[in-house]
Amino acid sequence: MDVQLLTFIIVGASFALYIAIAIWARAGSTTDFYVAGGGVPPVINGMATAADWMSAASFISMAGLISFMGYDGAVYLMGWTGGYVLLALCLAPYLRKFGKFTVPDFIGDRYYSQTARTVAVFCAIFVCFTYVAGQMRGVGVVFSRFLEVDIVTGVVIGMAIVFFYTVLGGMKGITYTQVAQYCVLIFAYLVPCVFISMMVTGHILPQTAFGATLADGSGIYMLDKLDQLSVDLGFTEYTNGSKSTIDVFFITFALMVGTAGLPHVIVRFFTVPKVRDARKSAGWALLFIAILYTTAPALASFGRVNMIETINGPDMAGTEISERPEWIRNWEKTGLITINDKNNDGKMYYSAGKASDPASANEVDVDRDIMVLANPEIANLPAWVIALVAAGGVAAALSTSAGLLLVISTSVSHDLLKRNFAPNITDKAELFYARLAAGVAIVIAGYFGINPPGFVAQVVAFAFGLAASSFFPAIIMGIFSKRMNGKGAISGMIAGIAFTAAYIIYFKFVNPAANTPDNWWFGISPEGIGTMGMMVNFVVAFVVYKMTGEAPQEIQDMVESIRFPKGAGEASGH
């Protein structure tokens, strides 16, 4: 059977599974819709959280990024996992005890302010839309490459599937489909990687193969060979990065704190029955995430060795362009690999220069996003593995989109509509508006997936920076400082966001030409500035609090009551 037919069958079967689960787990009330009835077992919730968190970026792009960044790729590996430690230790159990549906609910109640609630709602909606547009794009790319339908059709199919189970099932439908999606995506990620580890080093586990000797009997460690290859071709050593230490530090911190502040991640911990389950569920979530995140750097290094050897040949002198393998031809059609035979010797050669630069020796440009998808083809794996990877990529994108869309719909129907405009609305009507909002959000997300604004990648830095500089400090102070008052927290959030947004907008949009380490403050890139925004938030909040006095006694009592588990009820809207 050919790859395309197999891909249709495997992707189609996975879709049928998601729809069947959605029908089985329909939502009957707002509690079902917002927090899955609050009755999800911790291990299941951990798995769903992992699928929710691991997006098309984690599945498709991350290993490719690491492959081209080497050591510097650690900012993503540590940043996107270390945040769960903060989440589990400092946020999740307390927010679960607080027992409301959403993050803006906490901010609004804790700081006794409708303004704070509304600011939080708009931040949440902005962060989620940023993300979801990228996910829809990921679905489109997978469809167009593997099923050879155009991107528009791909996005529309993806929208239809997500629409079906988000609108019908709400959080309950999403949670159980995400469990299925986690299984599909992790299997799809591990299978090709195990094959490749076996081929390169003879180890089954990618995590140990990563530090093993090559299978060719030379006794050379894989990473040493990769360092040597990189240096020979004019790159920096793979295991040494090229970013400055301070920048790596700040980016990692911003990603960690941003992760802990992302509303679609936090809301997952409202779905478990007890405070102790929230702690446990965070542990399971990180364990399930770690399986992919410790595999990714191994995949990245094997992929890089394979790619260099395929293009440059075993003797590192280049290979005949006319005899280039099928996978290069396939990706050339999508424009993600380009070959430019500059010295007209009929051979292609990959090195540190740019293919577009006539003076450099490099003749091949490879887009970083294709590493995971192309890896099975590069390593000549069987067709079903390639089909599986396509299904995994779609599962990763769909599971994250659904989680994000749910936060958008909750924010609109619950935080904006019920809390601001129509407090007496019935449960049934609120549920109707939640579904309507989810439907509208999917259409908008689909539009951005088909017509991606050129700045999707830049805006992701924005999403993390915003979460790091606004939500995280406000929630932390809300729990750990019972006297922190509303004025302090609101000024902190506004100062943090304004500072972070100004820095990012200046370097990414107003004056992109100046976006070099020489012009950055203290050498901190826009990706890492959220860390400083967070500090600004803390300092401003503290100063304003000192000038305006303590929070009211009933708020302090409320904070004391969320600090221990006993008496945690089901999450509710009242």
Partner 1 sequence: MAFKNDDDKAAYWKENLSLLAKLLVVWFVVSFGAGILFVDALNEIRFFGFKLGFWFAQQGSIYVFVVLIFVYMAKMNALDKKYGVDEE
CB of 283 to partner 1, least distance (A): 4
DSSP lists the bridge partners of residue 320 as: 347
Residue 274 or 342 having the CB closest to partner 1: 274
CB of 294 to partner 1, least distance (A): 6
For the chain, how many residues are written? 574
Query: How far is 8 from 254, CA to CA, in rounded Å?
Result: 40
Query: How far is 255 from 463, CA to CA, in rounded Å?
Result: 10
Query: How far is 325 from 337, CA to CA, in rounded Å?
Result: 13
Nearest to 88 by CA among 225, 286, 304: 286
CB of 449 to partner 1, least distance (A): 31
Residue 91 or 103 having the CB closest to partner 1: 91
User: 110-122: string of b/e by CB count within 10 Å (b at 16+)?
Assistant: bbebeebbbbbbe
CB of 95 to partner 1, least distance (A): 15
User: 442-468: string of b/e by CB count within 10 Å (b at 16+)?
Assistant: beebbebbbebeeeeebbbbbbbbbbb
DSSP lists the bridge partners of residue 364 as: 339
Residue 363 or 527 having the CB closest to partner 1: 527
- On whether the CB atoms of residues 67 and 368 are closer than 8 A, the answer is yes
Indicate the SS3 state at residue 363: coil
CB of 564 to partner 1, least distance (A): 4
Residue 46 or 263 having the CB closest to partner 1: 46
Residue 424 or 553 having the CB closest to partner 1: 553
- On whether the CB atoms of residues 332 and 338 are closer than 8 A, the answer is yes
CB of 400 to partner 1, least distance (A): 20
Residue 276 or 342 having the CB closest to partner 1: 276
In the complex, which residues of this chain contact partner 1 (CB under 8 A)?
66, 71, 73-74, 77-78, 81-82, 84-85, 88-90, 93, 207-208, 210-213, 221-224, 239-240, 245, 248-249, 252-253, 274-276, 279-280, 282-283, 286-287, 290, 293-294, 297, 560, 563-568
Residue 319 or 525 having the CB closest to partner 1: 525
Determine how β-strand 347-348 pairs with β-strand 364-366.
unpaired
Residue 255 or 434 having the CB closest to partner 1: 255
CB of 566 to partner 1, least distance (A): 4
Dihedral angle sign, alpha carbons of residues 211, 215, 218, 223: negative
CB of 468 to partner 1, least distance (A): 15
Estimate the crossing angle of helix 245-261 against helix 529-548, to 10 degrees: 60
